[in-house]
Structure 1
Amino acid sequence: MRRIEEALVTVNRALVAAALAAIFAIVFVNVIGRYVFGSSLSWGEEVARFLMIFGAFAGAGLALREGRLVEIDLFVSVFPERLNTMIRWGAVVVMGLFMALVFWFGARFVAFGWPKETMATGISRGIPYLAIPTGAALFLCHLFFFARRFVSRDFESDGDYPGQDG
C-alpha cells in the first residue's frame, strides 16, 4: 500500500507541475508574441485557463496532505482531544462524501459537454471538464491513504512526501 501511495503522490505532483509549466510556457509565448511580434496564439488563453483549472483540481489532494485546505479550528480546539478526534473523523467522512458527489456530477458534466466544442481550440468541452472528476478521484485517493494522518494532524511538508528525500 505504501508503494501505491508513493506512486500516487509522485504522479499527482508531476501532473500539477506539468500543468503549471505548460501554463507558464503558453502565457510567456503569448506575451512575447503579442508585444514583440504583434500577434499571439489564438488558443493560448483558453488552454492556459483549462490547465489552471486542472491544476487546481489536481492539486487539492496534495493540499490536503500539507494541511493547506481552509480550516477553522478555533471552535474545535476547545473540546477535549477525544471529541476533537471524532469531529475530525466526521470531517473526513464529509470530505469523502462531498468529493464522491463532485466526482459523480463531474462525470455527468463531462458527458453533457462532450458533444459541444470549445471556442478557440474546437475540442470537445468534455475534455477540459475531465478536470472535475479527475481531481475529485485524486482527492478521494489521497483521502483514503491520508485520513488517519489527517485526523492526527500529521501533515506533510515539502520534503515529507512518501518516497521523497528531504
Structure 2
Amino acid sequence: MKQLETAFVAINRAFVAATLALVFMIVFMNVVGRYGFGTSFAWVEETARHLMILSAFAGAGLALREGRLVAITLVTDMLPARYAHIVRWMIVVVLFVFMAVMTWLGMKFVQFGWSKETMSTGIPKGIPYLSIPIGCTLFVIHLVLFAKRFVHFYDPDQADFRGEIEG
C-alpha cells in the first residue's frame, strides 16, 4: 500500500510540475513572440489561466500532506490528546464530505458548461471546468491515504505530517 501511495504522490507532483512548466513555456513563448517578433497568440492567456487553475486544484491534496493549508490549531492544542484526536477526525470527515460534494457539483458544472465555448480557444467550457472534479477527487484520495497520520501525528515538525512516506 505504501508503494502505491508513494507512486500516487509522485505522479500527482509530476502532474502539477508539468502543468506549471507548460504554463511557463507558453507564456514565455508569447512574450518572446510579442516583443521579439511583434506577434502574439490570443489563446495563450486563456490557456495559461485554465492550466494554473488546474494546477491549484491538483496541488491542494499535496498541500494538505505537507501542512501548507491554513489551519487554526488553538483549540486542538489546548485539548487533551484524546479529544484533540476526536476533533481532528471530525475535521477529516468535514473535509471529506466537502470535497466529495465539490466533486459531484464540479461534474454538474462540467455538464452545464459542455455546450458552451471558451472565447479564445473555442473548446467546450466543460474541459477547463474539469479542474474542479479532478482536483477535488485527488484531494479526497490524498485525504483517505493521509487521514490517520493527520489525526495521530499532528505535529507539523514531524516528517509524517509533511507527507513523507516512510518505508
TM-score grouping bracket, smaller chain normalisation: over 0.9
In the alignment, is the contact (CA less than 8 A) between 1:109 and 1:129 conserved in 2? yes
Q: Give structure 2 stretches of 5+ with no counterpart.
A: 155-159
Runs of 4+ in 1 over 4 A off after TM superposition: none
Give the match's secondary structure for 1:128: helix
Q: Give structure 1 stretches of 5+ with no counterpart.
A: none
Q: CA RMSD in A?
A: 1.4
In the alignment, is the contact (CA less than 8 A) between 2:150 and 2:161 conserved in 1? yes
In the alignment, is the contact (CA less than 8 A) between 2:2 and 2:165 conserved in 1? no
> Are 2:161 and 1:155 aligned?
yes
Comparing 134-143 and 32-41, the one that deviates more: 32-41
Question: Percent sequence identity over matched residues?
Answer: 58
Q: Distance between the aligned counterparts of 1:6 and 1:44, measured in 2?
A: 34
Matched with 1:124 is: 124
Q: Please list, as runs of the form range in 1=range in 2, the aligned pairs for 1:19-38 lying within 5 A after superposition.
A: 19-38=19-38
In the alignment, is the contact (CA less than 8 A) between 1:5 and 1:162 conserved in 2? no
In the alignment, is the contact (CA less than 8 A) between 1:9 and 1:162 conserved in 2? no
Q: Please list, as runs of the form range in 1=range in 2, the aligned pairs for 1:57-136 lying within 5 A after superposition.
A: 57-136=57-136
What TM-score, normalized by structure 2, do the two folds share? 0.92
> Are 2:4 and 1:4 aligned?
yes
- 1:156 deviates by 2.3
- 1:32 deviates by 1.2
- 1:76 deviates by 2.1
- 1:83 deviates by 0.8
